[in-house]
Amino acid sequence: MTSASDPDTDPMVAALDLVGKEQYHEVGEFPVEQGYVWTSCASVENGNPLFWDPEVAAALTDGPIAPPSMVSVWFRPHHWAPGRTTQALPLQVHFDLKELFGLPEAVMTDNTIEFHMPVRMGDLLRTHQVLRSVSEEKTTKLGTGRFWVIDVVYTNQDGDLVAVESYTGFGYKRGDVS
């Protein structure tokens, strides 16, 4: 075990050092496209005319936009791409923290998305992750571990803020861990 007071080896010191820092900047693999918007709307039978009727879109949003709840869709990589060997996991910061603290299990307890500038066809979105906070060690019915809050920030090609998604995760070791 490492000494909790050693700043070089104390995982909490390392974690707190990451708080507020922008990490894992990524650009979407493809521009926002109308076909995928319709695929999404069809999957949940969403008949909102904003996404199907160009006149409604022109009147309300100055042209077609994507459903706000699709914002993370534009970042999920293709299942295969030529020459690709590894890829960052979505929410890589979450997995980094599990490893840093040696916590094998994790759950997401809640997820908030705040929507800003609408996403338009042809937008090429960008994202980065920011660790907001890490708790002291806590014990819940799942086990003993730490809560953390991670923001995923989405912007468009002009740098406008599109959305901020905040995840609360709990990384833990199963019960009976002293």
| Closest of 2, 85, 88, 71 to residue 36, by C-alpha | 71
Distance of closest approach, residue 152 Cβ to other proteins, in angstroms: 12
Of the candidate residues 73, 100, 121, 149, the single one contacting other proteins (CB under 8 A): 73
Residue 36 Cβ vs other proteins, minimum distance, rounded to whole Å: 8
In this complex, which beta carbon is closest to other proteins, that of residue 118 or of residue 143?
A: 118
Here's the x/- map for other proteins, 90-129, by CB under 8 A: it reads as ------------------xxxxxxxxxxx-----------
- C-beta of 10 vs 53, nearer to other proteins: 53
Stretch 10-49 residues interacting with other proteins (CB under 8 A): 36, 39-49
Least Cβ distance, residue 95 to other proteins (angstroms): 15
Q: State in angstroms the smallest separation of the CB of 45 from other proteins.
A: 7
Give the count of residues interacting with other proteins (CB under 8 A).
Answer: 39
Distance CA 38, CA 52 (A): 8
User: Which residue's CB is nearer to other proteins, number 111 or number 135?
Assistant: 111
Could you tell me which stretch among 6-14, 16-24, 59-67, 136-144 binds other proteins (CB under 8 A)?
59-67
Exposed/middle/buried for residue 14 (C-beta within 10 Å: 0-12, 13-18, 19+)? middle
Supply the DSSP string of 117-143, one letter for each residue: SPPBTT---EEEEEEEEEPPPEE-SSE
142 binds other proteins, rule: CB under 8 A: no
Which residue stretches of the chain are H helix? 11-18, 34-43, 49-52, 54-61, 92-101
Neighbours of 146 (CB within 10 A): 23
- DSSP label at residue 58: H
Q: Which residue has the tokens 């995760």?
A: 169
Amino acid at 106: A
Contacting positions for other proteins (CB under 8 A): 36, 39-50, 55-56, 58-61, 67-70, 72-73, 76-77, 79, 108-118
